[in-house]
A and B are shown apart, each in its own frame.
Chain A
Amino acid sequence: MTKDASATPLLDVRGLEKRFGGLVATDRVDLRVDPGEIHALIGPNGAGKTTLVAQLGGQLASDRGTIVFAGADITAWPTHRRARHGLARSFQITRLFRSASVIDNVALAVQAVSGGSLAAWRPARRDTALFERARELLDTLGLDSKAAHSIDQLSHGERRALEVGMTFASRPRLMLLDEPMAGMGREESTRMEALIGVVRQQCAVLLIEHDVDAVFRLADRVSVLVGGRIVASGTPATVRSDPAVIAAYLGDDADAA
C-alpha cells in the first residue's frame, strides 16, 4: 500500500455480494478508495466489473455487504442521493440527452446537484451561474466551440469526453469511470488520459478500464477482479508481477490482443 493505511478511506466497500439466481456476480468484494487517488479496477470480460459499478452507483441493489462513502453508509441509498453526496458515475455505453445541445447536457449535469426546489420554476436560461459553470466545463473538455451543437454532430471521442465531463460537472468527491476509453483510437485515448489527469486533481477516481497500458500509467493502485472476486490489490508494479493476475488476466489479454 502506498497510502497511509490509517487515513479514512473515501470509499470503503466491505463484503459486497450480488447474485443472479445461482450465479455469483459479485463475491464478497472488499474495496477501498482513498481521497485523491486513482484506483483502477481491471479484470477479464465477465469478471463482474459492470455489476460492481452498478452496485456502487446504486443502479443495482446489493444482496449483502456495506458501502460506506464519505462518512455515510450509502448501501441502501437511491442513485440520485449518492450522486448528490458526491459519488458520480459515467457509463460504458455513452448516455447523453439527445434532444439537448452540448452545453445543455452539461448545464443539466450542473443543475442536477444544485437542486433548490424553490428555483424549480425559474427559466433555466436566465440562470447565469449555471451556464457559466457549464461553459467552464466545456473549456476543460475542449468542446467550447461546439456548445450549441447537437449530440449527433459530435465524434465518438467527443461524446466520450462529454460523458466524462457530465460526470465531473457535479464536482464529485469520487468519479466512477466505466471504461472511458472503450472503442477509442490511439489519439482519442491519449486525450482522454489527459482529461483524467485534469479531473484527478479535484477528485478521486475509480477507473474501470480495459486498456491495461493506460491503467498502469494512470493508476496509483490497481485491484483485479476475476469471477466476481478481488484476486489482487496494490500498486501497479505489485499487481503486474502477481502470478495470479498474470494467469487470470494479463495472460488472457495478451492472447486476445
Chain B
Amino acid sequence: MAPDQAKPLGVRGALLPLGAVAVAIALPFVLRALGLDFYLSLASRIVVYAIAATSLNLVLGYAGLVSFGHAAFFGLGAYVTAIMISEGVQSGPLHLAATIGVTALAAFVIGAISLRTRGVYFIMITLAFAQMLFYLANSVKGYGGDEGLNIRVRSLFSLGAYLLDLKNPLALYYVALAVLVLALLALARFAPSRFGRAVLALRDDDLRAEALGFPTYRYKLVVFVVAGALGGIAGALSVNLQGYVSPNALHWTQSGTLMVMVILGGVATVWGGLAGAAVLFLLQEVLASTTEHHEFWTGWVLLAVVLFARQGIVGLWTRRQAPSLP
C-alpha cells in the first residue's frame, strides 16, 4: 500500500524551480539590455550569500541547532582562498579543495565540542569559536591583520583549452549560481530522505530520537560539517567577488546577518536561504537610496516576519496544513 501523503514532484511542482533557474540564467542579459550592468554584482552578492544562508539553514532550520558562529566558516573559506592567492596559488580547484578541507575540519572540531552542549550554551560556544577566529585574523599581520587582505587576481579554473577566470563578473555569477542550484537540489533531496527525516525528528526531540536508536550526535556532526564546508565555499566565492577579505567576514554581526536571512526567508525550507538573502539585500538597496536609516526599517520588516509569518517569506506562499514531514 502506498504511504500517505506521497507527493511525487509533478509538473506543477517542478515549474517554480525551473522558472527560477531560467530567470537566474537570463538575468545578466536582461540587466545588460536594460543598461543596468551595475546590478550584476548585487545579483552575485545575493547568490553568494544565498549559499551561505542555505548552509546555515541546514544547521539552524533542519537540525534545529542555533549556531551563532556560522561566519567562522564563511570567513575561513574567504581567508583560505585569499591567502592561497596572496601566496601565488591561483588554481581554482586547489582553492576549492583547500577551502572545503579546512572549513570541514574546522566544523568538525568546533562541532565535536559544541554539540556536546545544548540550548544557550550551544549558542554561546559557537559564538565564542567564531570570535576566536575573528581575533586571530585581526592579529595575523602577515595577512592584513585588522586591515584585511586584498587580492589582485582571482581563482582560475581551466576547462580544457578554456580558462574560467572568476575575475570576469559573468563567470563568477554563473559559477556561484551553479553552486547554489546544486546546494538547493541536494537540500530538496535531503529533506524527504531517511537521513533528512531523522534530522528533522531530532530537531523536535533529540532525547527521543536517541532513545529510538538514532545516533543523534553523529547525525548532528555530519550536518554541521557539511554546512560548514558549504559556508566555506560561499566565503571563497565572496572573496572572488569582492577582491578583498577582512576580519569582519568572521565577526559575529556576519553570523547575525546570516541568521536574519534564514529567519526572514524561512527556517527549514529549501528556498529560505535564497529568499532571505534576496529580500535583505534588495531591501537595503531600495532603502539605502531613500533613507539614511535603512537598518531601522529593515528591523521593522524582520519583526513583522517573525511575528506574522512563522515560516518566513517562503511560508507565505506554501501554506502548510497540518505539521508533516516531507
A residues whose Cβ falls under 8 Å from a Cβ of B = 57, 59, 78-81, 83-84, 88-89, 91, 95-101, 103-104, 107-109, 111-113, 115, 119-128, 131-132, 135, 147-153, 166, 169-170
Contact = CB atoms under 8 A, between A and B. Distances in A.
Interface in B1-59: 1-6
Given A104-B324, A122-B193, A131-B3, A166 B212 contact: yes
Given A121-B193, A123-B193, A150-B323, A79 B211 contact: yes
A89 B193 contact: no
A147 B4 contact: yes
A111 B1 contact: no
Contacts of B4: 101, 103, 131, 147-148
B211 A89 contact: yes
A169 B212 CA distance: 9
Given A121-B189, A125-B6, A131-B3, A99 B212 contact: no
A83 B324 contact: no
- A contacts with B: majority SS: helix
B147 interface: no
B198 A104 contact: no
B204 A100 contact: yes
Contacts of A115: 213-214
B141 interface: no
B325 A84 contact: no
Name the residue in A98, A109, A150 with the highest tally of chain B Cβ atoms < 10 Å from its Cβ.
Answer: A109
Nearest to A86: B213
Contacts of A112: 198, 209, 212-214
Given A83-B211, A101-B4, A150-B323, A124 B201 contact: no
Contact of B192 (A99, A113, A125): A125
A148 B2 CA distance: 13
Interface residues of B, number: 34
Contacts of B213: 80, 83-84, 88, 112-113, 115, 170
Q: What are the 8 A-B residue pairs with the smallest beta carbon separation, nearest first?
A: A83-B213, A112-B212, A112-B213, A131-B3, A120-B195, A95-B208, A97-B204, A150-B322
A80 B208 contact: no
Interface string B128-163: 000000000000000000000000000000000000
A80 B214 contact: yes
A101 B200 CA distance: 13
Name the residue in B5, B189, B210 with the highest tally of chain A Cβ atoms < 10 Å from its Cβ.
Answer: B210
A99 B208 contact: no
B216 interface: yes
B303 interface: no
A115 B210 CA distance: 13
B192 A124 contact: yes
11 contacts: A57-B211, A84-B213, A98-B323, A103-B4, A112-B209, A113-B213, A120-B193, A121-B189, A125-B6, A149-B322, A152-B323
B205 interface: yes
Contacts of B201: 97, 100, 108
